[in-house]
Chains A and B, each alone.
Chain A
Amino acid sequence: MSRVAWLSLLVVAVLPASAATRTLVVSGLGGETQYAEAFEALAESAAQSARGTGAEVTLLTGADATRETIRDALAELGRISAEEDVAVVHLFGHGTYDGETFRFNVPGPDPTDGELSDWLAALPPARQLVVVATSASGALAEPLRREGRTVIAATRSGTEQSAVIFGDYWLEALRAPSADTNKDGAVGATEAFRFTSAAVERHFEARGLMATEHPRLEGPESGILVSRLELERLPDANARRLAARRAEIEEAIAGLREEKDSLEIDAYFARLQELLLELAVVERELADGS
């Protein structure tokens, strides 16, 4: 059995069996060639990573990424999605904020924060992720706030209007093993956000520059996958049985961690070790089975 076969089972454990993830990725106007090319490359990479997680992906770039096509794509996403599904939206490009209205820069009329909010509000999925890798994107955090939706913005507010480097580090997060802090072989939205925030901070520090952007996460922390670091394959029956046992052990570990403060520390670690040793054996059997 492939050493990564178990990865698919994690998704099974986290999501309802019938849940589907649908992702819309958009790159907006670059203005200058270097930006246009960079935004498209970022969008294509993000789309590729999303496909690796098993998501259905719609990619809009260049002249195809207009106010109308974005509206229509979201409407279509809403039409085919159910409440138990997951909706993910990535916007790469330039954003502007005039003190009242945020605009995502695309060819033709720009969609505003109000429009984006309305279009997203029509989506049925209870769990949503919106990643806005643009200047001034912090202005979107409040308007897009909604129960079950995580909004990740490149800037703290609409007043941070310089072109952002957030997207470059977001892309790095989708590929870096160190972004996968829970070591489940995939990168979740919150993991990617933390990796990117730290990298952006280091970027400015290392160059002795004043930070012109401060990434922001609004809403619940999210385990929605944005990237899978290893390939997955379909598990066989034995692997499914082992994975189910692994899920039970993990649940026990999570419960134990919640009780940590009320336990003697030695007793806590003794019990943790017991569970982890069993988990290690299960993991080894899974690996051997491949």
Chain B
Amino acid sequence: MARSRAPLSALLVGLAVATGAQADTTPDACRRLGYTDRAASADCYRGLLLDPSIAVRAEALWGLGDWQGANSAFRAAVSAAPGDPEVRARWGRLYLEAHQDADAEDLFREALELDGAHVEARVGLAEVAAGRFDVRARAIANSVLEGVPNHPGARFVLARGALTVGDVSTGRELVLPVVESEDAGARLEAMALLAAADHLEGEIPSPWTGRALSESPHHGAVFETVAHFYVITRRYEEAVAMLERAVEVDPRLYSAHAALGINLLRVNRFDDAQRHLARSFEGDPYDSEVVNTLRMLDSLHRFDLTEGARLVLRTHKEETGALEGYVRRLVDDAIATMGARYGHVVEEPVVIELYPHHDDFAVRTSGLPGLGILGATFGDVIAMDSPSARGIDDGFDWASALWHELAHVVTLNATGNLVSRWFSEGISVLEEWRTGPSRSTSPSRSTGPSRGRSVPLDFIEAVRGNRLLPVEHLDGGFMQPDTPNRVALSYVQAGLLCEYMEDTWGVGALARVLAAYADGEDTPGAIRRGLELAPLALDEGFDAYLDTRFGDVDPDRFRAQVRSASAHLKAEAWSAAAEAAREAATVYPDYVGPASAWPLLAEAEASRGRIVEASAALTEYWRRGGRAPGTLRRLVEWLRSGERPADALPVQRSLALVAPLVPEERRRLGDFLTEAGQYEDAILEYQAHLALRPHDRADAHYRIARAYQGAERLAAARRHVLYALEIAPRFRAALALLLEIEG
């Protein structure tokens, strides 16, 4: 909907004349009628279509579902009464309903410029802010309540915020008084929020849903509200059930069809999702989430669906061959490793979707492009960027991200989705660090992600500045961030908190906390049960732990030494550069992010001809989780030229894992593995190389054949050598191999 266009509905005006509409009613009266008798409500609105006030006619068109007509009428109303804040506030609310929050915000602000105390405009602004998880929503709503203590809209904003972070009792307190309101709409919304509170606390069925339906039989929105909080708490099956009830009660509740469609995708019911999204689009073509998601679904014909007992994989056709092997290994490994650590093995197949275009993943996840996250887990469904969407150079280690999401599958599955956000994230981050470990050295478990990824410098600065959140409020760090980097800090804090718990009380403590969540405990209860400790005591112990780990790390000194090393490198002062880089590495050896000290040290050492020392520096970088492909490639070359193929192999494994769609890396790893006699792993690499459509296909088949021969799988070896020779009959090495195979 655009503010600059839209015709008035002549048809509706005509109908108004035909029905002989009454002139003594109001839009509010028509709205109230709608809760019990929609036909009468529609008649009522039609009666207002000939009202002398253009603002009233706008309300009537809006009530009759003609949003374009209403938009046009509101525009005319504003022109007729430019100093009236009420018209702008109402127009803003129309935009809010039409999913155009930015336009709504503009209108609320314009209304407030005319009347700084305008309550509905302030509440509108609070709702816009709440929709963006902006903490200012709370401040605005509180300021409204200072003047109008029982304002339903302001109470709803605060109650939704409280329920979002699990503060159910506050949520209840805020909305209970509204149940007695004279405004039927407010009463019904209060009941919906109370029903949501009941569901969040497991009090099912909630009496409030029945009460809402007895007042308004087709008020499906009560179930939609409950579903919203199931979504917030990642209980998608329950959300779907509620939304199905919502559209059953009110088939014209298009927002519920939209939410149902999006959440059906999250439980892997694509056909049903498409049906409800299409239904939503028919009734509300302005919902960009629906439009985007329908477009994304249309593009899925370019994807393969590979179904197995443990894994259902949806990948782009051009990437399946290169990624499937790694994904299978990661899933098997993660489920077994984490199952053993937490005493819970996921039995159902895990659904994994890898999207080559980030916006497709974002739409799949939230309905909107531009989402900042890289992966999302909905129960046992994982959707994330594929390695082609962004690379390790953009900070995206896809295998580590998948490992993170698989940990979510375990924690969500183990608790029936009742685990708190911070604990689930903390376990996922911890598992990225802790159980991606020895895979770089153990050939049979070679697919795990990097371990020990360094803690960013801004987190250490937050520790030094006492800017971390208490554990009881750590969920808010994810859901209602107070600063731009709060979400990122909260991930690291949650990971370190779980690490502290494991280091202090053992992994069993983490499993006990998980079990407590599964039993419905909130965070304080889960900590008390799992650790026999009050949350405050956990915070105190954690502070001391952080001090031990990071007390000696001075970010400023580190940065200064890195800057100095870079400057010396530029000036070709190799010794001074090496000295500064070594000093930086001593200050914070674990830092392997951008501008890590180790590559600088390697550069300085290599430049003065000390390749052994340079290799040692990059080996430290790699061991501590550094994964920049260019840097690892250099290390592999140095190790190979230094005749250290056994040391080069695990580094090349890391390289192939972080860049799985680069054919040369897969082929090179296949060569190294063949050389080392690890033929089965070599076959996987060569198959991936072939799937990436290399220029020299005959050679790709020949390499596979050679690996099969090494693995004594002669039938497969014969097949591939024939494929090679079919392309290039004169391929002498392949002809020789054929003779060898045939003995």
Residues of A within 8 A of B (CB): 3, 10, 178-185, 194-195, 198, 249-250, 253, 257, 269, 272-273, 276-277, 279-281, 283-284, 287
Inter-chain contact A181/B739, CB cutoff 8 Å: no
Inter-chain contact A272/B735, CB cutoff 8 Å: no
Inter-chain contact B735/A280, CB cutoff 8 Å: yes
Inter-chain contact B730/A280, CB cutoff 8 Å: no
* Residues 606-617 of chain B, each 1 if its beta carbon lies under 8 Å from chain A, else 0: 000000000000
Decide yes or no whether B515 CB sits under 8 A from chain A. no
| 12 A–B contacts from the bound complex (CB under 8 Å) | A3-B732, A178-B695, A178-B696, A181-B695, A181-B699, A183-B699, A183-B732, A269-B722, A273-B738, A277-B738, A277-B739, A280-B738
Task: Give the nearest-CB partner of B695 in chain A.
Answer: A198
Decide yes or no whether B50 CB sits under 8 A from chain A. no
Inter-chain contact A283/B732, CB cutoff 8 Å: yes
Task: Give the nearest-CB partner of A269 in chain B.
Answer: B722
Q: Report the Cα distance A257→B699, complex, angstroms.
A: 19
Decide yes or no whether B228 CB sits under 8 A from chain A. no
Inter-chain contact B730/A182, CB cutoff 8 Å: yes
**Nearest CB in chain A: distance from B274 CB, A:** 33
Central interface residue in A179, A182, A195, A280, by most chain B CB within 10 Å: A280
Complex contacts, B731 vs chain A, CB 8 Å: 182-183
Inter-chain contact A184/B730, CB cutoff 8 Å: yes
Decide yes or no whether B347 CB sits under 8 A from chain A. no
Inter-chain contact A279/B729, CB cutoff 8 Å: yes
A276: contacting residue among B696, B697, B719, B725, CB under 8 A: B725
4 shortest interchain CB distances as A-B pairs: A183-B731, A183-B728, A280-B735, A178-B696
Inter-chain contact A181/B696, CB cutoff 8 Å: yes
**Nearest CB in chain A: distance from B721 CB, A:** 8
Decide yes or no whether B90 CB sits under 8 A from chain A. no
Inter-chain contact B736/A272, CB cutoff 8 Å: no
Decide yes or no whether B29 CB sits under 8 A from chain A. no
Complex contacts, B738 vs chain A, CB 8 Å: 273, 276-277, 280
Inter-chain contact A273/B698, CB cutoff 8 Å: no
Decide yes or no whether B742 CB sits under 8 A from chain A. yes
Complex contacts, B728 vs chain A, CB 8 Å: 181-184
Inter-chain contact B742/A181, CB cutoff 8 Å: no
Within 8 A of A (CB), among B693-743: 695-699, 718-719, 722, 725-732, 734-736, 738-739, 742
Complex contacts, A178 vs chain B, CB 8 Å: 695-696, 699
Knowing that A276-B735, A277-B742 touch, tell me 16 more A-B residue pairs with CB under 8 angstroms. A3-B732, A178-B695, A178-B699, A179-B696, A181-B695, A183-B734, A184-B730, A250-B730, A272-B725, A273-B722, A276-B729, A276-B738, A277-B738, A280-B736, A281-B739, A283-B732
Inter-chain contact B695/A194, CB cutoff 8 Å: yes
Residues of B within 8 A of A (CB): 695-699, 718-719, 722, 725-732, 734-736, 738-739, 742
**Nearest CB in chain B: distance from A289 CB, A:** 14
**Nearest CB in chain B: distance from A65 CB, A:** 32
**Nearest CB in chain B: distance from A46 CB, A:** 20
Q: Report the Cα distance A197→B638, complex, angstroms.
A: 30
Q: Report the Cα distance A183→B739, complex, angstroms.
A: 17
**Nearest CB in chain A: distance from B503 CB, A:** 41
Complex contacts, B742 vs chain A, CB 8 Å: 277
Complex contacts, B727 vs chain A, CB 8 Å: 181-182
Complex contacts, A276 vs chain B, CB 8 Å: 722, 725, 729, 735, 738
User: Contacts A280-B736, A281-B739, A284-B739 known; A183 to B726 CB distance under 8 Å?
Assistant: no
Inter-chain contact B730/A185, CB cutoff 8 Å: yes
Inter-chain contact A283/B722, CB cutoff 8 Å: no
Task: Give the nearest-CB partner of A275 in chain B.
Answer: B729
Complex contacts, A183 vs chain B, CB 8 Å: 698-699, 728, 730-732, 734
Task: Give the nearest-CB partner of B739 in chain A.
Answer: A280
**Nearest CB in chain B: distance from A42 CB, A:** 21
Complex contacts, B730 vs chain A, CB 8 Å: 10, 182-185, 250, 283
Complex contacts, B718 vs chain A, CB 8 Å: 273
**Nearest CB in chain B: distance from A249 CB, A:** 8
**Nearest CB in chain B: distance from A286 CB, A:** 10
Task: Give the nearest-CB partner of A182 in chain B.
Answer: B728
Q: Report the Cα distance A278→B742, complex, angstroms.
A: 12
Q: Report the Cα distance A272→B698, complex, angstroms.
A: 15
Q: Report the Cα distance A267→B725, complex, angstroms.
A: 16
**Nearest CB in chain B: distance from A200 CB, A:** 12
Inter-chain contact A195/B695, CB cutoff 8 Å: yes
**Nearest CB in chain A: distance from B533 CB, A:** 49
Q: Report the Cα distance A252→B736, complex, angstroms.
A: 20
A257: contacting residue among B726, B732, B735, B736, CB under 8 A: B726
Central interface residue in B728, B732, B739, by most chain A CB within 10 Å: B732
Inter-chain contact B735/A182, CB cutoff 8 Å: no
Complex contacts, A257 vs chain B, CB 8 Å: 726
Complex contacts, A195 vs chain B, CB 8 Å: 695
**Nearest CB in chain B: distance from A265 CB, A:** 11
**Nearest CB in chain B: distance from A172 CB, A:** 11
Complex contacts, B736 vs chain A, CB 8 Å: 280, 283-284
Q: Report the Cα distance A249→B725, complex, angstroms.
A: 13
Q: Report the Cα distance A280→B743, complex, angstroms.
A: 12
Complex contacts, A185 vs chain B, CB 8 Å: 730
Complex contacts, A283 vs chain B, CB 8 Å: 730, 732, 735-736
**Nearest CB in chain A: distance from B328 CB, A:** 27
Complex contacts, B696 vs chain A, CB 8 Å: 178-181
Task: Give the nearest-CB partner of A199 in chain B.
Answer: B695
Task: Give the nearest-CB partner of B664 in chain A.
Answer: A202
Task: Give the nearest-CB partner of B726 in chain A.
Answer: A272
Q: Report the Cα distance A10→B734, complex, angstroms.
A: 18
Task: Give the nearest-CB partner of A4 in chain B.
Answer: B732
Complex contacts, A249 vs chain B, CB 8 Å: 729
Complex contacts, B722 vs chain A, CB 8 Å: 269, 272-273, 276
Complex contacts, A3 vs chain B, CB 8 Å: 732
Task: Give the nearest-CB partner of B734 in chain A.
Answer: A183
Q: Report the Cα distance A194→B722, complex, angstroms.
A: 23
**Nearest CB in chain A: distance from B741 CB, A:** 10
Complex contacts, A281 vs chain B, CB 8 Å: 739
Task: Give the nearest-CB partner of A3 in chain B.
Answer: B732
Q: Report the Cα distance A276→B725, complex, angstroms.
A: 8
Complex contacts, B729 vs chain A, CB 8 Å: 182, 249-250, 253, 276, 279
Complex contacts, B732 vs chain A, CB 8 Å: 3, 183, 283, 287
Task: Give the nearest-CB partner of A249 in chain B.
Answer: B729
Complex contacts, A180 vs chain B, CB 8 Å: 696
Q: Report the Cα distance A276→B737, complex, angstroms.
A: 11
Q: Report the Cα distance A253→B727, complex, angstroms.
A: 10
Q: Report the Cα distance A181→B730, complex, angstroms.
A: 10
Complex contacts, A273 vs chain B, CB 8 Å: 718, 722, 738
Q: Report the Cα distance A269→B738, complex, angstroms.
A: 13
Q: Report the Cα distance A10→B728, complex, angstroms.
A: 13
**Nearest CB in chain A: distance from B694 CB, A:** 8
Q: Report the Cα distance A120→B718, complex, angstroms.
A: 48
Q: Report the Cα distance A250→B730, complex, angstroms.
A: 8
**Nearest CB in chain B: distance from A41 CB, A:** 24
Q: Report the Cα distance A81→B92, complex, angstroms.
A: 82
Complex contacts, A10 vs chain B, CB 8 Å: 730
Inter-chain contact A181/B697, CB cutoff 8 Å: yes
Q: Report the Cα distance A283→B728, complex, angstroms.
A: 14
**Nearest CB in chain B: distance from A34 CB, A:** 23
Complex contacts, A269 vs chain B, CB 8 Å: 719, 722
Task: Give the nearest-CB partner of B718 in chain A.
Answer: A273
Complex contacts, B734 vs chain A, CB 8 Å: 183
Q: Report the Cα distance A194→B698, complex, angstroms.
A: 14
**Nearest CB in chain A: distance from B10 CB, A:** 49
Complex contacts, A287 vs chain B, CB 8 Å: 732
Q: Report the Cα distance A184→B733, complex, angstroms.
A: 11
Q: Report the Cα distance A257→B738, complex, angstroms.
A: 19
